């Protein structure tokens, strides 16, 4: 193997590693267009994590709930009481981040709205942020004709982010999940979000062992290339 080839191999491994690290730093919530959201409004299972309501007759709403280490902190247009609260994995009815689903129930009077942002955050016992995933871009939804109490849309973490959250959950089994959302064109109504369980697919969680093997493989290629460079 020529030195140039070794250098090329090492650079390729380095670029691949940086690319992987970059993709893992960006946590995506994905929309599952073919998944069905459950019926039953706030106060029914699955558990509600957040409702936001545009104030008065305005058309935009934004708000969330976080955990400060001792209590929930609501912000913006988040509704009180049973609507809005952080949830543990247990309270969300899940044991695996790959099965985590965010169900959106819209109530918009003219049956369309834009979901501008959706951010899921995992908090540790001191309120520290352990994980964060978000919607990559706003989504316009139409044909929301079920009214309140009938779920309309389903979201999940993509496979890489689900694996990240699962690793965080293993290390912090009492973590609390909070959510922030913002919508527009939802005049005079509220939008509710619940956390619950879906089938593992389509947001399947890669086995942590696979990820480790993959990482070890890259490190192995680099080490081998280094040894060969030394010999030469």
Under the binding rule (CB under 5 A), the answer on residue 139 touching Ca ion is no
Q: Are 159 and 206 in contact (CB under 8 A)?
A: yes
Q: Are 197 and 94 in contact (CB under 8 A)?
A: yes
Distance CA 139, CA 185 (A): 12
Under the binding rule (CB under 5 A), the answer on residue 150 touching Ca ion is yes
Q: From the CB of 147, what's the least distance to Ca ion, in Å?
A: 6
The set of residues, in sequence order, having a beta carbon less than 8 Å from that of 69 and lying 6+ positions away, is 123, 125, 126, 127, 128
Please, which contacts does 8-14 make with residues 24 or more away whose CB atoms are closer than 8 Å? 9/221, 9/225, 10/222, 10/225, 10/226, 13/218, 13/221, 13/222, 13/225, 14/222
Under the binding rule (CB under 5 A), the answer on residue 112 touching Ca ion is yes
Q: Which of 190, 182, 112 is nearest to 145 (CA)?
A: 112
Under the binding rule (CB under 5 A), the answer on residue 184 touching Ca ion is no
Choose which of 29, 108, 160, 192 interacts with Ca ion (CB under 5 A).
Answer: 108
Looking at the Cβ atoms of 110 and 140, the one nearer to Ca ion is 110
Looking at the Cβ atoms of 93 and 188, the one nearer to Ca ion is 188
Near Ca ion in 5-64, by CB under 5 A: none
Choose which of 110, 142, 219, 224 interacts with Ca ion (CB under 5 A).
Answer: 110
Binding segment toward Ca ion, per CB under 5 A, in 20-28, 35-43, 60-68, 142-150: 142-150
Near Ca ion in 203-232, by CB under 5 A: none
What residues make contact with Ca ion under the rule CB under 5 A? 105-106, 108, 110, 112-113, 146, 150, 152, 185
């Amino acid at each position: 193997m020529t030195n140039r080839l070794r250098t090329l191999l090492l650079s390729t491994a380095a670029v691949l590693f940086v690319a992987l690290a970059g993709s893992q730093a960006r946590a995506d919530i994905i929309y599952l267009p073919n998944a069905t959201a459950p019926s039953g409004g706030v106060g029914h299972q699955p558990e509600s994590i957040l409702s936001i309501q545009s104030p008065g007759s305005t058309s935009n709403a934004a708000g969330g709930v976080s955990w400060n280490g001792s209590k929930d902190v609501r912000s913006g247009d988040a509704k009180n009481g049973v609507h809005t609260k952080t949830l543990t994995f247990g309270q969300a009815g899940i044991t695996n981040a790959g099965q985590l689903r965010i169900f959106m129930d819209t109530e918009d009077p003219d049956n369309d709205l834009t979901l501008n942002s959706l951010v899921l955050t995992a908090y540790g016992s001191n309120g520290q942020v352990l994980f964060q995933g978000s919607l990559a871009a706003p989504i316009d939804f139409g044909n929301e004709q079920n009214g309140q109490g009938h779920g309309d849309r389903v979201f999940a973490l993509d496979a890489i982010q689900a694996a990240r959250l699962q690793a965080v959950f293993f290390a912090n089994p009492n973590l609390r999940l909070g959510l922030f959302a913002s919508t527009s064109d939802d005049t005079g109504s509220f939008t509710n979000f619940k956390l619950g369980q879906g089938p593992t697919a389509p947001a399947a969680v890669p086995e942590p062992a696979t990820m480790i093997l993959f990482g070890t493989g890259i490190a192995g290629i680099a080490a081998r290339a280094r040894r060969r460079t030394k010999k030469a």
